[in-house]
């Protein structure tokens, strides 16, 4: 299974947007909320709905325009909406009916942020004549807030042209109910109508995301503060931190998750501000494993070992989650059990080592797959995609088709039962009946997956993305794995989808008729705690799940194909290849050559002929690229593509293969970039200059074979330098 998304389902194109599209969108949102969320609305929200509908239509439109703009402070003279006519009159209506208001001292920070530098200077300079006129706006704002009282500034400022969008919080709450997160505009509706965003194509059955008012208000409380956190300056961060003592209890799963995220992010920002005491206070307001780990580490750093030990013992004896127990156990063993390294480090060090040529370091997972396949194994890059695809296809009807299959809004592709964690309880009998099928012949499950995939292929959903090759890894898993182990992991998805959908190992490897999962790490990579938890869950289910460390080496037996192409011009999308020259290098020797002229099926500019010596007559009877494509690809088999300024040659050949409907994908090495890195200090790194510097023959410059052979000599210099201080494959193997 590959990350390559080879199939993209086009979004339906819509008609041009009507003039008052934004008004239609706002009414659509309000009507949806009124229909599905009446049970969570306060009287003030019901009043909002009534009074908005009582506004004249154009006044409604202007208010929606304000909702969709950034901020809530506006200058009347800057508003230009031709379709609405006299905006000054409409602003008057909004002011009169409580939908707009004049700025006051409570809006001081917003006013300062809204004003231009010159407008702020107009107020400050009469008071502070010596004030520097070159201050950046951020410094100017800081000066004003420090030295000028809000009331004095607002009195000196001409605020008649300014007004504030009123009822902002109520608007934001209604949009929060619809979208499930704090939004500043209805841009998603616009993108939907323009065909840029997909919406659910299943039955239009919607389930409120909140069961009662207290749940909705709790979630909104923490979501708003998380939004404020994103834009908070140092002073605002302190204010948010001081609020934590007054946070409401989080009595619901969703609000607890938001509270924990808020506590963790606030605490981390306090730590970065070198305020560990404030960070500790904030972390204590959260209950996530991440918050617990930071509490323990801060206590230890402050010397409070006894308190840290008590906290650790609580986490071990009564953990809130598996992740919290893992973190606490790891720290306890190291700090109080005499263990010198973390569990994460131990697992990483215990993994097998894969020795791979460093030229493939640009794609470690792909390099590992190629190595494993060279050993006779079958490997797929799977990560989370394998399990999410298998889960989605296995329970497609329960998730998307049945009467109980609902979502929270048209924009949400994830089923409501997964978002709120109720899927397993709602479908327990059917889930267990389906999972029981995994103990039978895999053909039954495979037929079911094929039928679902064939029927619904390409249908947007919030669980997985469709791929043409998705069945390869799925069927390999079902054919070679212990299917009871497969059922165990799927049960976890059913029971706790939000927390188990991420963190799975990079690869699935099939060998000797069994399956194992492998997390790939390279030098400097760390094993994350959620990855460790997934490895543990896979092992507990009955799978073999490992970590493999890649050590980049120089493999003397690695084949390189050094390529040069001559072309009709400088861009592969407009021009064509006229000649290919390539030499194969292995173990420091040129072992094979490939050379051909090509008919470019277009004219060759005279300037190109003067440069390369290749004339139209020379290529008139030459083969087309499609005639030599198979031979060249066979020549490239298992090799690394090398060229001087590699993107030029590689790009042209990729375009040529693309024109005949084939892909061209090989690891690349650039002799120009490599020489620049390994042999610094040259004035020029052109092929001709380097050949002169290193006494490399270049008798027919700008003919493909001559240039390829010269670049091959540069490759030998590069590998010679790479050998210095770098293990070779043979030396590493001998040491092992």
Active site residues: 702
d(CA 321, CA 291): 12
Structure tokens at 702: 């700008």
- The kind and range of the H/E element at 308 are helix 305-317
Q: Is 27 left (phi over 0), alpha (psi -120 to 50) or beta?
A: alpha
Rg (CA), the chain: 32
C-alpha distances in Å from residue 158, one per residue of 2, 92, 122, 154, 229: 61, 18, 10, 8, 31
- The rounded Cα 487 to chain-centroid distance in angstroms is 29
- Share in percent of the chain as helix, strand, coil (round to 5): 55, 10, 35
Residues 6+ apart with CB under 8 A from 536: 322, 326
Torsion of CA 469, 475, 477, 483, to 10 degrees: 150
Q: Is 193 left (phi over 0), alpha (psi -120 to 50) or beta?
A: alpha
Residues 6+ apart with CB under 8 A from 647: 668, 670
Going by the DSSP 8-state scheme, the letter that residue 202 receives in this structure is S
C-alpha distances in Å from residue 336, one per residue of 94, 300, 301, 325: 66, 11, 14, 15
For residue 597, give the nearest of 632, 575, 634, 624 by alpha carbon.
624
d(CA 668, CA 677): 16
For residue 320, give the nearest of 241, 260, 266, 278 by alpha carbon.
260
Q: Sheet containing 589-597: which strands, arranged edge to edge?
A: 589-597, 577-586, 560-567, 640-643, 668-670
> Three-state SS across 329-349?
HHHHHHHHCCCCCCHHHHHHH
d(CA 123, CA 258): 41
């Amino acid at each position: 299974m590959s990350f390559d998304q080879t199939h993209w389902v086009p979004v339906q194109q819509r008609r041009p947007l009507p003039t008052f599209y934004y008004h239609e969108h706002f009414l659509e949102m309000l009507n949806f909320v009124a229909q599905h969320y009446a049970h969570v609305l306060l009287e003030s929200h019901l009043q909002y709905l009534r009074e908005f509908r009582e506004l004249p239509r154009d006044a409604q439109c202007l208010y929606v325009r304000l909702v969709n703009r950034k901020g809530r402070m506006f200058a009347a003279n800057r508003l230009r909406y031709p379709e609405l006519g006299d905006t000054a009159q409409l602003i008057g209506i909004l002011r009169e009916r409580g939908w707009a208001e004049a700025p006051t001292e409570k809006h001081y920070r917003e006013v300062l942020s809204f004003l231009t530098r010159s407008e702020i200077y107009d107020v400050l300079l009469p008071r502070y004549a010596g004030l520097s006129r070159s201050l950046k706006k951020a410094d100017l704002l800081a000066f004003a807030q420090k030295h000028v009282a809000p009331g004095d500034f607002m009195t000196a400022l001409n605020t008649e042209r300014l007004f504030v969008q009123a009822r902002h919080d109520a608007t934001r709450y209604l949009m929060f109910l619809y979208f499930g997160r704090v939004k500043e505009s209805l841009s998603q509706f616009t993108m939907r109508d323009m065909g840029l965003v997909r919406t659910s194509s299943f039955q239009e059955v919607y389930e409120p995301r909140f069961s009662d008012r207290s749940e909705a208000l709790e979630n909104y409380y923490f979501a708003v503060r998380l939004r404020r956190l994103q834009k908070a300056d140092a002073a605002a961060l302190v204010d948010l931190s001081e609020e934590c003592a007054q946070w409401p209890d989080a009595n619901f799963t969703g609000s607890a998750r938001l509270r924990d995220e808020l506590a963790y992010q606030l605490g981390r920002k306090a730590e970065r501000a070198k305020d560990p005491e404030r960070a500790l206070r904030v972390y204590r307001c959260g209950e996530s494993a991440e918050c617990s780990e930071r509490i323990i580490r801060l206590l230890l750093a402050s010397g409070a070992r006894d308190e840290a030990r008590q906290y650790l013992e609580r986490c071990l004896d009564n953990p809130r989650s598996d992740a919290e127990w893992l973190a606490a156990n790891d720290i306890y063993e190291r700090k109080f059990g005499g263990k010198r390294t973390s569990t994460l480090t131990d697992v990483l060090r215990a993994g097998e080592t894969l020795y791979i040529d460093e030229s493939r370091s640009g794609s470690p997972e792909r390099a590992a797959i190629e190595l494993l396949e060279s050993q006779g194994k079958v490997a797929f890059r799977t990560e989370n995609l394998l399990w999410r695809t298998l889960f989605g296809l296995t329970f497609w009807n329960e998730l998307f088709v049945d009467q109980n299959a609902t979502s929270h809004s048209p924009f949400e592709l994830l089923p409501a039962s997964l978002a709120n964690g109720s899927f397993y309880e709602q479908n327990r009998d059917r889930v267990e009946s389906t999972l029981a099928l995994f103990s039978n012949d895999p053909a039954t499950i495979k037929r079911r997956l094929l039928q679902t995939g064939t029927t619904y292929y390409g249908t947007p959903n919030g669980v997985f993305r469709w791929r043409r090759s998705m069945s390869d890894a799925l069927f390999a898993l079902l054919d070679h794995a212990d299917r009871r182990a497969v059922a165990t992991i799927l049960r976890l998805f059913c029971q706790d989808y939000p927390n188990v959908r991420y963190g799975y190992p990079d690869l699935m490897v099939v060998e000797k008729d069994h399956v194992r999962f492998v997390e790939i790490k390279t030098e400097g990579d760390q094993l994350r705690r959620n990855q460790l938890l997934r490895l543990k869950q896979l092992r507990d289910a009955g799978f073999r799940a490992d970590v493999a460390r890649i050590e980049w080496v120089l493999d003397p037996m690695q084949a390189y194909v050094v390529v040069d192409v001559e072309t009709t011009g400088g861009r592969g999308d407009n021009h064509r290849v006229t000649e290919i020259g390539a030499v194969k290098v292995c173990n420091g020797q040129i072992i094979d050559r490939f050379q051909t002229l090509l008919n470019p099926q277009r004219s060759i500019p005279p300037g190109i002929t003067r440069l390369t010596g290749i004339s139209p007559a020379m290529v008139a009877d030459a083969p087309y690229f499609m005639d030599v494509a198979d031979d060249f690809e066979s020549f490239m088999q298992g090799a690394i593509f090398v060229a001087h300024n590699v993107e030029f040659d590689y790009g042209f050949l990729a375009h040529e293969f693309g024109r005949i409907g084939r892909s061209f994908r090989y690891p690349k090495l650039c002799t120009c970039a490599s020489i620049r890195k390994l042999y610094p200090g040259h004035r020029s790194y052109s092929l001709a200059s380097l050949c002169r510097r290193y006494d490399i023959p270049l008798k027919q410059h700008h003919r493909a074979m001559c240039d390829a052979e010269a670049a091959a000599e540069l490759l030998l210099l590069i590998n010679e330098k790479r050998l210095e201080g770098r293990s070779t494959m043979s030396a590493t193997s001998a040491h092992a």
